[in-house]
Every structure is written in C-alpha cells, then in structure tokens.
Homo-oligomer: A and B are copies of this chain.
C-alpha cells in the first residue's frame, strides 16, 4: 500500500455521459475512486453515464463537479496533463509508468487531467500542470479514446499498490495548486500595473510563459509564502514611494 493517496482523475469538459461512465469503470477496475468533472458538456448527473459504468456507480455517485480546472485541482500539489502528442511546451514529459512511480514517491495528492474526447486538453489546461503525461503509442496510429487513456494510467498506478514501499525521504510536498494560483495572481496584478503585458496580443503567451516558469519550481507552501512576502515588499516599497 502506498503512503501517497490515490490520484484524482479529472475529466476536463467531457462530452458524452457514456464516456464518463466508461472512465469510471476503467478507474474502479484498478482501485481508483475519485473522479472530478470540469464543466461536463451535458451537465451532471448524466443519465448515459450509469449504464456505461457497468456497476462502477460508486465512482459516479461521488464525482465532484467544478467550473474550472484550477478549481478542480486546487487541493492537489501534483498536477499531470495527459496529452497524446508532444506540444511546444517546456515541461517534463513522463510515461504512465513514470507518473505512477512519481506519484507514489511524492507526498500529497496527485491530479491527472484528461481532455475532451474530440480535442484533448487545451494549451491553457496544460499550462496548469507541472508535468505532461503521454502514453507512448504507435506513431503511425494514435487513437486512444478517453476511457483507454484512463485505464492505462489507472493500471500503472495499481501495479505499485501491491508492492509496499514506504517513501524513504519525506520532503515537504509542493504547495497545493490554489496557493500557487494565489501567488501567480498577486504577481499578475502587479505586472498589469507595471504595463508589463505589452503588446496586448502577446499577453496570453506571456502569461503562459510566466505560469510555466512559476510552476516549475515545485515550491512548498512555505516557499510560496516567502515569495508572496517578497512581492508584498516590492509592492509596499512602490506604494510608499508613490505617496
């Protein structure tokens, strides 16, 4: 049994209730029970989900619904974004096997994001994650559906459940996502004030770059507090000067 809690499966803007049900079934086969839904297209609950779950009703009954990805992962210090193809994002890329080992070794809860059936995760969703999870598939035929992607990740996680290995080093976990968001928000407001975001059409890219950069450190709660203190001091100095 692992010291780390089982990962949370986050379905981002899922389209068909049937696929939510299939994902629940895939999860429960390998002992995962916590599902979160971000803005499911057809609302929630969805009558098509139950029959497709083939008995994994407990997963559906406990599923939590969120408006945003940020909200869904707010309490998770480790966020993985599942993508099929490599993108121009400078984040570490891991296989399901590596992700399972990492999640097991790291203290604190992990969340794994899965995108909508047709399009996958958007760049802004991926930007929230610290790590990209990619299933290595046939380069000439990559056609994994949502439940298949979920089952492979759940399967890899479950493998380690039998082998009991307590984590030997107890490093402080990274801060939960919401604390990171608070710091990013604070900096963002200061940068808006400073006219940092210019020209306007570059703003989304610049914001993503900053987010990637600030997500990379895996700062602890204490470190995030220190950084916020730094930002407050810089803002305070500015305020004092300008009065």
Q: Are A219 and B219 in contact (CB under 8 A)?
A: no
| A119 interfacial contact with B, CB 8 Å | no
Contacts of A39 in B (CB 8 A): none
| A93 interfacial contact with B, CB 8 Å | yes
The complex places the Cα of A213 from the Cα of B135 at a distance, in Å, of 32
Given contacts A142-B29, A165-B136, A233-B194, contact A226 B209 (CB under 8 A): yes
The complex places the Cα of A5 from the Cα of B195 at a distance, in Å, of 42
Q: Are B187 and A143 in contact (CB under 8 A)?
A: no
| A216 interfacial contact with B, CB 8 Å | yes
Contacts of A196 in B (CB 8 A): 229-230, 233-234
| A61 interfacial contact with B, CB 8 Å | no
Q: Are A98 and B230 in contact (CB under 8 A)?
A: no
Q: Are B30 and A137 in contact (CB under 8 A)?
A: yes
State the oligomeric state as a number of copies. Answer: 2
Task: Pick from A66-74, A101-109, A147-155 the stretch touching chain B.
Answer: A147-155
Task: Pick from A10-18, A40-48, A121-129, A167-175 the stretch touching chain B.
Answer: A167-175
Contacts of A163 in B (CB 8 A): 136-139
Q: Are B237 and A143 in contact (CB under 8 A)?
A: no
Count A interface residues, CB 8 Å: 70
Question: Which chain A residues in 196-229 approach chain B with CB under 8 Å?
Answer: 196, 209-210, 213, 216-220, 223, 226-227, 229
| A56 interfacial contact with B, CB 8 Å | yes
| A238 interfacial contact with B, CB 8 Å | yes
CB distance from A76 to the nearest CB of B (A): 20
Contacts of A171 in B (CB 8 A): 90, 92
Q: Are B233 and A234 in contact (CB under 8 A)?
A: no
| A178 interfacial contact with B, CB 8 Å | no
Q: Are A187 and B230 in contact (CB under 8 A)?
A: yes
Q: Are A216 and B213 in contact (CB under 8 A)?
A: no
CB distance from A219 to the nearest CB of B (A): 7
| A51 interfacial contact with B, CB 8 Å | no
The complex places the Cα of A236 from the Cα of B195 at a distance, in Å, of 9
Known: A147-B148, A152-B155. 17 other contacts (CB 8 A): A29-B138, A29-B142, A30-B138, A56-B141, A56-B143, A92-B169, A95-B166, A136-B165, A137-B158, A151-B151, A155-B155, A194-B236, A195-B237, A196-B230, A210-B226, A234-B238, A238-B241
